[in-house]
Structures are given as C-alpha cells and as structure tokens.
Structure 1
Amino acid sequence: MSEKIGSVEEPVLSHSENTKHDEVYTTSAAPHKGDLGTQLAQAHEGEIHNPLKHIPRHQLLEDVARFRAEKGLPEDILPYLEKGALLAQNPAGFEHIAELDVTDKEMIRNEVLHRWRHPWAMYYTIVLNSVAAAIQGWDQTASNGANLSFPDALGIPTGGNCGADCAKNSWIVGLVNAMPGITICLFAGWISDPLNNYLGRRGTIWLAAIFSLFAPFGMALSQTWGQLAATRMLLGIGMGLKEVTVPVFSAECSPTNIRGGLVMSWQVWTAFGIFLGTCANLAVGEVGTIGWRLQFGSAFIPAVPLVLGTWFCPESPRWYLKKGKYLQAWNSLVRLRNTKLQAARDLYYIHALLVEEERIILESGLDVHSSMFTRFIELFTIPRVRRATWASGVVMIAQQMCGINIIAYYSSTIFEQSGVSAHTALWASFGFGLINFIFAWPAVFTMDTWGRRALLLFTFPNMFWSLLTAGLCYLIKDEHSRIAAVATFVYIFAAFYSPGEGPVPFMYSAEVFPLSHREIGMSWAVATNNFWGATLSLSLPRLLAIFKPAGTFGFYAGLNLVALLMIFVAVPETKMKSLEELDGVFSVPYRKYARYQFGTVLPWWTRRVFGGKKGEKCPELYHDDNDASDIGENAA
C-alpha cells in the first residue's frame, strides 16, 4: 500500500504492507496522519485535491509573506502573491474573492473565453519548439526518398540485380534506416536526463540542434553504407534529445487549459517537417546520381533557426523551481503569462505542491535528490509513477503498432511496389506528407475539448479498416486501379492517424510524470517508442520481401485492434488538469480503472449508441476540488 499527501508534481515514494487494499496513491489537503482511512477512500474514488483548499485565510496570507521573504523575491510582488494564493485556493469561486478587482476577474474569465490569448514569449517558445519538431519530421523523411537510390549507389542493392545477397542487403538497408531509432533507445534518450539536469531545457535543445545541423552534411558525403549508418547515429543523438526535451519544455511552459493544443504542436510541425521532406525529395529526385545525397543533406535547413533562436525564449519555470531558483522562475512566468497575478498564482501553487511532496519523501526516509538509476527503478516501483510509466509506454508502443512508420519511412518504396515509377512514387509520398500535415491541425482544437483518450479511441478503429483495405488493394489486377486504390486508402489512413495517435503519445508522455521523474520518464517513453520504431524500420524491408505489401499491411492493421484494447484499459484522460493535479488522476489503481472501463464506461457507451439513451451522462471516476466548469457560465 502506498501513501501520498497533497496533489503535487513530485513523485510519491511508497512502502509495502500486507493488507487487503489495492496499492493507492492518495491526495489530500495536508491532512493529519490519523486521516489515513479517509485518504484511502478518497484515492479509490479518484479524488484530485487542492492542498491550499482548507487553509484559513489569515494563515495562508502569513505563509505567502514567509514564502516571499525566504525565497528572496522582491517585496513589490507580495500583493500579487497574496491574490494569487487566494485564487489558487478557490479557482472556481473567484467572483467572490474580495481582494480581486474588476480587472483581475476579467482576466480570469478571459482564461476561458479567450483561451488562446497569451503573450508573445509564450508563442515564441512554442514556435521554436515547432521548428525543432519540423527538423524531426524532415530527418525522418529524408531517408524515405533516398531509399529508392542510395542502396544501389553504395553497393547494397535490394532489387532484382542483387542475386543471392538480396536478403543480407535488405537487412543492411533496414539497419541504416533504423540507426537513429537504435541510437535513441540505447543512448540518446537516456543522456537527456542528466543533460536536462545540468543544461536546462533550452541548453539541451540547443545541443540537439547542433547535431541536427551537421549530421545531414555527413550523410550527404558518405561513401559507404557504414559511414552513412554512423552519421545517422549522430543524427539520432540530436533527434533523441529533442524528442525527450521539446514536449516536456512545451508542457511545463503552457497554461493548463490549452496545454494539449500547444504541446501537440510537436506532432503538427513534425508532420509539416515530413511534408517539407517530401517536397525536398521530389525537388531533387531527378537530378542524377547525387539526388539521394541532396535528399539526405537538405535536412540541415530547419536546424539553422533553432540554433540561432533557442536562447531568446524563457527557460521552463518548473525547471527553475526544481533547482530552487525562485526569482528566475518568477521572471520566466511573468514572460509566459498575461499578467503578474497569473504568474504569482502559478508560482505559489506549484511551490505549495512541491513543498508538500518533499515532506512526504523525507518522511518516507528516501533521498529527495536520488540518482538517475534510482529514479529509473522508481518508474516501476512507485505506484503513482508506475501507472504513468505504463500509460506512456502504451501510447508510445501503439504509435508503432498502428503502422504509420511503414509509410513514413518507406512510402516511396511501397508506392513503387504498387507499379509506379520512382518519380511517381515520390509524388505519391508528397501527397501522404500533405495529408499528414493538414489533418494534424484539428487536434490543436480538439485535444483540450474532446480529450487525449477520446481521440485515440476514435482514430484506432478507423486506422484498422483503412490500413487493411490499403493492403487488400494490392491484390487488384488492373494496374491503374491498383495504384489509385492503394494511394486513396493510405491517405485515408494518414487522415485518421494525424489528429489522434499522431499527436497524443509525445504530448501525453510529457505531462503524466511528476517533476522529479519527468526527464527520466520521458526518456523511458521515447526509448520505448524508438525501440519499436527501430524494430519496424529494421524488419520492414524483409517483411515486404516475404509477405509483400498486402500481408504486411494486414499484419499491422490487426495490431491496431490490439492497441485499441490496451488504450481502453490503461490510458486515463488528462485533459484540463494541471501537471500537478495529474497525481490525483494516477491515484487510481489500474485494477480499479479497468473495472470502471468495462463495468461502467462500456455499458454506458452501449446504451448511448445502441439503446437510444443519448442524453445519459457517464458516471465520473474522479472528483476535482478545483472544478471551475462554471466560469464560462458566470462570465456569460
């Protein structure tokens, strides 16, 4: 059995007892030890508590004054901190807080009514992170077009002229394509944790940009497949550092009510990078024997603005708080929020949660500043963190199970096998890139309304039938009909992937871990994703040779149904919760969560869809102390 007091962003450290209770991760507004039974009951009901909720007003204001003095914050921000603490204590009742003036209340209403209205520094940060994502997509797609010609140029042909070496050469081509993923899952993903600790989010992203700037030149100049694999390993270091750090950076800087829309910019602009990569592949696809070199080398272009612009955005305020740099955290929040009141509210609320968390860790007899290895072990031993580890692993594995990288890495090869020329295959890949980018945009506006989980449950069944149909279209005898049908259903598959399983995994993994385990947790998630991505890239040329596209597509279509079941039972919803409040979401043991899904949600959905009870509301698993759903109504 595990215990936690306070809805906080740091990890809870657990101990074991032989009891009849499930393992739980409880939350409370700083209760006394005698309230353990109440805490257990609340945790099993999915309570999400505000640790400031029941503190008397005079005591809260005294705590705020002490906090300002102890942290060396300027005296002139005390009024903002006082109003911010009162607002954090009762966000749903802001209309009745006497200390808030008309302007303050208007600002709070605008958080709902004009939720996309934020200062330029916030959007500049997201734009820079979007550039990093575009690099990622371009890096992935450069090999897509080059796969049509670099094997022959480097002496590892896989076509009809390879004779007895076909099987070996297919594995070599797969290895070259998989090298970035192998590097990320074995090395680059894991060094992100110490680099983030010492360099911060901005420093780590800048270092990643350096690798992304120079590795494409190495790929373009490679003379052997070994050299190409080595330079793609360097490319993988840059890709891995960005994959771990950029979504976390966006999540830690974003306001709660649009965090999903902003963090999923990683996928939107990764899709844009894929599209730009297909454009570059097409532009240089017929320039002669050096076309594949230009396709690889073109990926340096988006790295230039990232290298130059990273240091102009504010550092993550939560990283500053983790380092005890409260003044810097305040200055960062002032740049990232519309008003000083909002900055003060967020600063004090996060601080209160971290203080409570540190107390729990110390009472557990464990080290607040544990080593990277210890934190890795805790990903699987601390109940609250273990649930986040499992959920992030599921969405990351599902991204590879759905089959998207069959197309992202090998679409040109797949289209060529449908009977078209190499240049026409590049045009077909261009269409895939365009569809992938256009259909990623709806998620910006649905991620925080429909929710992460709902998007996944909607898109996976549709990816199943569209991918299966695309595979069956290879059996069409007429060449022109076959080409048109394959392209159509591949595009439909991409259209369903882009707003769902495309943006959710990295965004979801960046938000579910507590602050002390966020870097190592994201490293785990990214390593998981890239391990299976590398496995797919390594094996796909051989699978295509043995099972042909129809069999390969059918295999991955079936995996979509397996992924759908995993998501249904193991991925809780996280929309409209602060990063700290997600402790309460992951307080519920998975046994209880799975019973709720099968015993409550599935029957409710069946009655609603097939029983004509469309107005029936699904019973809630969680209760949130900070529920402010009536703010929009009050504003109206």
Structure 2
Amino acid sequence: MPAAMVVSGGAGAEGKTTVYVIISAIMAGFGGLMFGYDNGIAGGVTSMDDFLEKFFHDVYEKKMKAHENNYCKYDNQSLQLFTSSLYISALVFSFVASFLCNKFGRRFTMRLAAVFFLVGALLDGFAVNLPMLIIGRVLLGAGVGSANQSVPLFISEIAPANIRGALNILFQLCVTIGILVANLVSYFVSTVHPHGWRIAVGLAGVPAVILLLGSLVITETPTSLVEREKFEEGRTTLMKIRDTANVDTEFDQIVHACELARQVKDPYGKLMKRPSRPPLVISVFIQIFQQFTGINAIMFYAPVLFQTMGFKSDASLLSAVITGLVNVFSTLVSIYAVDRAGRRVLLLQGAVQMFISQSIIGILLLKDLKPTGSLGHNEAIIIVLLVCLFVMSFAWSWGPLGWLIPSETFPLETRTAGFACAVSSNMFCTFIIAQSFLSMLCGMQAGIFFFFAAWILVMGLFGFFLIPETKGVPVDDMINRVWKKHWYWKRYMQDEDPDEDRKQSKLEMAPSSSRS
C-alpha cells in the first residue's frame, strides 16, 4: 500500500511551499487513489451475490448453505485469483515503469498508468466471462505498477525538504481515500441488482481520467529533466516550483547527482554491491513486513471477513466503511507527526498496537466463533473496534512509512532501480496474501491472526534494531549522517570502491558552470 526521494529541496535550497507544488502533488495523488480503490473494491464485489453467481457459482452455492463452515465458504482459488492477478501484474510492471521513468520521465509514466487503469476498468465493468474479468484486473495491475513507481517519485522530487515527509505521505493518504471510496461505493450499490458490481468496478475509471488530464497540465520534475540533459528546462521548472530565481545551490546539487548517476551504467549491479545493502535490505524487508501484518487481508476482504464473523451482508459492508474512515483519518495523523515525532517513534508504537490488536482478535475468535454459528452482538462490536485499532496503528506507521523510508535512502544512481525492488517486493507479498488468505482462513481459522501477530513481533524487533531515524536528514547526506553512524550498517560503508571515490572527488571539484 505505494516513494523515491531526490536531492530536490536538500540542504541549501531556498523557496517556499508553493500552491503549484501542492496542486501538482494532489493531481499526481490520484494515482494512489486508483490503487486504493482497486484494493478496496475487490473485497466489496466478492461479497455481492450477483457477482459470485455470475463468475464464481461454486462459491455462491457454498455461501447459500447455512451449514457451511464459516471459515471456508469463500475458499476458492479462482476467486482469489480475481484479487491477486492485479498484484502479480503490478510486480512485473514496476520494473517496466522503472525503465520508463528514466527514459521518458515521471509524467509520461503516470499518463501511461492512467491509460492502463481506464482500459482495465472498462473491461471489468463490461466483463461477460471470467477471462475478460481477469484480463481487466491484469491491466489494472499494470496501472498500479506504473503509478506506484512514478507517482511517489514525482511527488518526492518536487517536495521541499521541510515538508518532505508530509507531502510524501500524501500518496498513502490518497490510497486510503481510495479504499474508503471503494467501501462506500460497495455499500451503496450492493442493493442494485443485478449490475451493482459493474458500477463498482467500472467507477475505477473516474480517478484514471482525472490523473490522465492532470498529467497533461502538470510539469515534469527538475530531476527527471536534468537526467535527460534538458538543463535549461530543468532550471526553469525548479524556479517555477520553488517560486524563486535563487535556485543555484539546489540546481547544482541535482546536476551533480545526475552526473554521478550517469557514471553508473548498471544501476542494478551497483545496487547489489555492499555499500548499497543497507537501504536495499531495509526497503525490501519493510515491504515484506508491511504485507505480513495482515493489513491487506483485512482491507481486501473486509466485507468477506466480517461476513465470516457472522455479520449480515449490509452490516459487513458498513463495517468495512468504518474501517476505511479510520484508515483515512489515521493517515492524517502520520502526515502531522512524521516530521515532528520522527519515523522510529511511529514505527515502534504502531508495531506494539498492531501486535496487541491481532492477538486479542485471535483469542476472541478462537473462543467465540465456531465453524458454524456466529458471534454474539457484543463480541462482534468488540471485534470491529479491535480491527479499527489495528487499521489505525498501521495507517500512521508501517503503511505510509513503508513507502517514505525507502524513498529517503537510495542515492540517485540507484534510485529507480532500488525503488523498483521495493515496489516489486510489495506487490509480490501482496500477491501472496491475496492469493492465499481465504485458503489460510479456511485451514488455520482463528489461528491466522496469531500467524500475523508473530510476523508483527519480528517486524517490531527489526524496526527497533535496524531501521535508523531519517527525520530531517538531507537525502544527499544520508550516507554520512545515517549509515556511517548506525551501530550495524556502518560496517557496510567501509567497503567503498576507491575508483568510484576518485571519480566522485573529481566531479565535486568541477565548477558548476561546466556542469550546467
């Protein structure tokens, strides 16, 4: 659930937070809204009888049998493929988008993402058979992979340093808004028979159109322009987004970083070297832990999950709306706190709260929800509250920071490659959860919540010992001020290539006029 940072807005940068930057970030954020909507809508439509009867008749028949095992009535590989196909497609396209971002720019890749989303939404909305439905989801996945690579890059590269964290989390906020909108749509169209599900999946095309139109009017980032040797256009754009002509320091930093990056002919090879290991390991493991908290099991399948717990159809969709609201407002907390309290405080507090919530949910379900029957009224309310506490803690910690922290750590020469690895890791783990959760729920029953709680415990220990604080550190000074001072990661910084050091020293001594 989906950011790469550059030297833009680094040390020495002048200028203010302009209305143009905010508007551009909001327009780009519709890529996150599309991702969130597609996340949320899958669970909504898979709880609708009209949808199940048309595409997954076996599941529909099992659901209609009153004596069917609560935990197993949705266990169907094809149904899970409907959800998970999006993420395996996104995994592949995150690497394609990495190349496109470098070659053609962030704005072009966002535009392509919007087209994928629009075509995928139309195919799903008019689907007449399962293959057509899955193809639509695959195209939506191509949009997710392209948007999750390009939109956070775009937002990060136009963001001033003083609001770097908050503006970066705007992408995650848009994701949560998309999930909430999907839950609301599912709730209101669930009574529209027999085509309510078509409205639900087809409405994914609305934010796609907004992103497409927005990508036509917003500017490309200065870093992307300089990367492609459009120096004057890059300087002009930087002056525009900073609302000042005094951009020499920041522009020289961008040019210098791009020159260093140009020396690296194989960014993926560079990424595998020892000095690149700290940001790579942290970025990949954050994505793994983020998904194995169980958050997407809850957000994808919230209506299905609440039905499993004995809620009626309307009540389950309404409960999903409630968790969606909690998700949005808790992300706002992260926007406020991330540049004040710092990253580590939010990560560690979130891990503790998630662990407690998942554990108690597991205990209550183990005690009160049998394979047949349903929860009592009071127990059901407690479960919804605990789910809200879990979603709340994720939404202000590992959710947004899972994207922010990787965005702050990679140098420009490995930025798109490193972020592609982060995005693809996230999509792969999301695919695993989406494809297996309903089967795991059937096999493990209430024990699945203890499974996720165990992962959260390991995640918290990883965060405590291995994730450094990056608040307020310019991205171009991350090696000196973070990695070389960390008790563990500093050992990886002692193995720099002497030849590369000499090249870097020569570039640093070169006058800025010769570079621009």
TM-score of the aligned structures, taking structure 1 as reference length: 0.70
- Structure 2: give runs of 5+ residues left out of the alignment: 370-374, 492-516
C-alpha displacement of 1:148: 1.1
Alignment check: 8 A CA contact 1:251 1:511 kept:
no
Aligned-partner Cα distance in 1 for 2:253–2:18: 21
Aligned-partner Cα distance in 2 for 1:292–1:510: 36
RMSD: 2.6
Q: Which residue of the partner structure matches residue 66 of structure 1?
A: none
Tell me if 1:522 matches 2:419.
yes
Task: Give, as a single letter, the amino acid of the residue that structure 2 aligns with 1:398.
Answer: F
Q: Which residue of the partner structure matches residue 177 of structure 1?
A: 83
Tell me if 1:157 matches 2:48.
no
Task: Give, as a single letter, the amino acid of the residue that structure 2 aligns with 1:546.
Answer: G
Q: Which residue of the partner structure matches residue 461 of structure 2?
A: 565
Alignment check: 8 A CA contact 1:206 1:310 kept:
yes
Tell me if 1:244 matches 2:135.
no
Would the alpha carbon gap of residues 354 and 592 (structure 1) be closer, same or farther in structure 2, given more than 3 Å must change? same
Q: Which residue of the partner structure matches residue 255 of structure 1?
A: 160
Q: Which residue of the partner structure matches residue 444 of structure 2?
A: 547
Q: Which residue of the partner structure matches residue 507 of structure 2?
A: none
C-alpha displacement of 1:570: 2.4
Aligned-partner Cα distance in 1 for 2:24–2:275: 30
Aligned-partner Cα distance in 2 for 1:167–1:333: 56
Aligned-partner Cα distance in 1 for 2:293–2:62: 33
Secondary structure in structure 2 of the residue aligned to 1:339: coil
Aligned-partner Cα distance in 2 for 1:311–1:286: 38
Aligned-partner Cα distance in 2 for 1:583–1:329: 26
Secondary structure in structure 2 of the residue aligned to 1:340: coil
Tell me if 1:346 matches 2:241.
no
Task: Give, as a single letter, the amino acid of the residue that structure 1 aligns with 2:251.
Answer: L
Q: Which residue of the partner structure matches residue 492 of structure 1?
A: 389
- From 403, 406, 419, the counterpart of 2:310: 419
Secondary structure in structure 1 of the residue aligned to 2:17: coil
Alignment check: 8 A CA contact 1:265 1:444 kept:
yes
Tell me if 1:121 matches 2:16.
no
Secondary structure in structure 2 of the residue aligned to 1:133: helix
Structure with more helix by fraction:
2
Please say which structure displays the higher CA radius of gyration: 1
Secondary structure in structure 2 of the residue aligned to 1:208: helix
Q: Which residue of the partner structure matches residue 432 of structure 2?
A: 535
Q: Matches of residues 410-449 of structure 1 in structure 2 within 5 Å? A: 410-449=301-340
Identity %: 25
C-alpha displacement of 1:311: 2.5
Aligned-partner Cα distance in 2 for 1:340–1:405: 45
Alignment check: 8 A CA contact 1:196 1:245 kept:
yes
C-alpha displacement of 1:353: 4.9
Alignment check: 8 A CA contact 2:157 2:221 kept:
yes
Aligned-partner Cα distance in 2 for 1:197–1:129: 18
Secondary structure in structure 2 of the residue aligned to 1:441: helix
Secondary structure in structure 2 of the residue aligned to 1:407: helix
- From 353, 372, 376, the counterpart of 1:479: 376
Task: Give, as a single letter, the amino acid of the residue that structure 1 aligns with 2:271.
Answer: L
Aligned-partner Cα distance in 1 for 2:39–2:458: 26
Task: Give, as a single letter, the amino acid of the residue that structure 2 aligns with 1:345.
Answer: T
Task: Give, as a single letter, the amino acid of the residue that structure 2 aligns with 1:222.
Answer: A
Tell me if 1:320 matches 2:216.
no
Q: Which residue of the partner structure matches residue 136 of structure 1?
A: 35
- From 279, 299, 307, the counterpart of 2:204: 299
Aligned-partner Cα distance in 1 for 2:434–2:476: 37
Secondary structure in structure 1 of the residue aligned to 2:76: helix
Tell me if 1:202 matches 2:107.
yes
- Structure 1: give runs of 5+ residues left out of the alignment: 1-7, 11-83, 92-107, 112-116, 359-366, 596-636
Task: Give, as a single letter, the amino acid of the residue that structure 2 aligns with 1:564.
Answer: G
Number of equivalent positions: 472
- From 178, 183, 191, the counterpart of 1:278: 183
Aligned-partner Cα distance in 2 for 1:295–1:535: 24
Tell me if 1:378 matches 2:270.
yes
Aligned-partner Cα distance in 2 for 1:9–1:488: 40
C-alpha displacement of 1:309: 1.3
Aligned-partner Cα distance in 2 for 1:179–1:398: 21
